[in-house]
Structure 1
Amino acid sequence: MDNYNLLKKIEHCRNEMITLSTTHSYTSEAVIKSSKQLDSLLNTYQKAVKSA
């Protein structure tokens, strides 16, 4: 996956997590799952940028 598409996924996931956090508690399963997914995407992006 190229960096542009990865950044688009990160932005989408970030917005999803923000939306979830407005209707659920920060410790809800849905928010935590979204946060973990965002963390994974951010780690992938950081590795891609570092190795470029």
Structure 2
Amino acid sequence: MSKNELVRLIEKKRSELIQIASTNGLTSSAAIRYSQELDHLLNTYNRKYTQTSKTY
């Protein structure tokens, strides 16, 4: 999956989460599921496309 495809998926999932949360509430099972899916996409993006520097 390319970086642009992943960004598009993140934006789509974020939009879906906002819609579901405004309809069903932030604590609804659907909103929680969408939030977890968005978290997974964001974590994937961070692992692949951001550099972490360890400072001690």
TM-score by length of 2: 0.86
Which 4+ stretches in 1 moved above 2 angstroms?
none
Sequence identity (%) = 39
More relative contact order, 1 or 2 (CA 8 Å, 6+ apart): 1
Q: CA RMSD in A?
A: 0.9
Structure 2 residue ranges without an equivalent (≥5): 52-56
Higher helix share: 1
User: Which structure would you say has the larger Rg?
Assistant: 2
Structure 1 residue ranges without an equivalent (≥5): none
* Number of residue-to-residue matches in the alignment: 51
